[in-house]
């Protein structure tokens, strides 16, 4: 013969304490989704206004007047330790993708959109940071930036 005793039902109040945890989890999943999307869809757009970054949460416009085109070059981050990202300030650092604000080994601040470490376009700015970018063809993008900057300066 069995005697059964039911548990006293839990109140609903403890479940309200879990709502912030669920909200945080949803927020993290959203950021990961946007990051994944950005890592595949990021674009660098050269316009009359400047260089635009589109497709990611770190998107912005850098005006032509801020780009130090004469110092821009294609670099290999595996061979230039001073330009390697040292610490993330605000951004994404996943294997094969780094985007957002970083501090470089040299101490310089940089806005990164890097997926390939061996062929990266490095563009310093007069705004106190540099750009490290992974376009499909860094040499062609560098030539186009230089061409547009030369046209703007009247050269």
Read off the pLDDT of residues 9-43 as tens digits, 9 standing for 90 and up. Answer: 777 777 777 888 888 889 888 877 766 666 666 78
Per-residue pLDDT at 32: 74
Spans of the chain below 70 pLDDT: 34-41, 56-58, 151-155
124 Cβ partners below 8 Å, 6+ apart? 68, 71, 72, 130, 131
Task: Write the Ramachandran bin of 104: left for phi over 0, alpha for psi from -120 to 50, otherwise beta.
Answer: beta
What is the rounded CA–CA span in Å between residue 5 and residue 129?
68
- 86, burial (CB in 10 Å: exposed 0-12, middle 13-18, buried 19+): middle
The DSSP bridge pattern shows strands 130-133 and 109-114 to be: parallel
Per-residue pLDDT at 92: 76
Per-residue pLDDT at 152: 64
Per-residue pLDDT at 60: 82
């Amino acid at each position: 013969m069995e005697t059964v005793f039911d548990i006293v039902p839990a109140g609903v109040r403890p479940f309200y304490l879990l709502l912030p945890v669920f909200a945080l989890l949803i927020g993290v999943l959203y950021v990961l989704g946007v990051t994944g999307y950005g890592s595949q869809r990021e674009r660098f757009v050269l316009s009359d206004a400047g260089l635009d970054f589109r497709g990611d949460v770190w998107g912005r416009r850098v005006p032509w007047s801020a780009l130090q085109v004469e110092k821009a070059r294609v670099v290999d981050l595996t061979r230039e330790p001073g330009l390697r990202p040292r610490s993330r300030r605000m951004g994404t650092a996943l294997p094969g993708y780094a985007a957002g604000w970083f501090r470089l080994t040299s101490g310089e601040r940089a806005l990164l959109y890097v997926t390939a470490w061996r062929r990266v376009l490095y563009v310093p700015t007069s705004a106190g940071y540099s750009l490290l970018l992974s376009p499909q063809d860094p040499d062609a993008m560098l030539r186009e930036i230089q061409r547009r900057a030369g046209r703007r300066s009247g050269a």
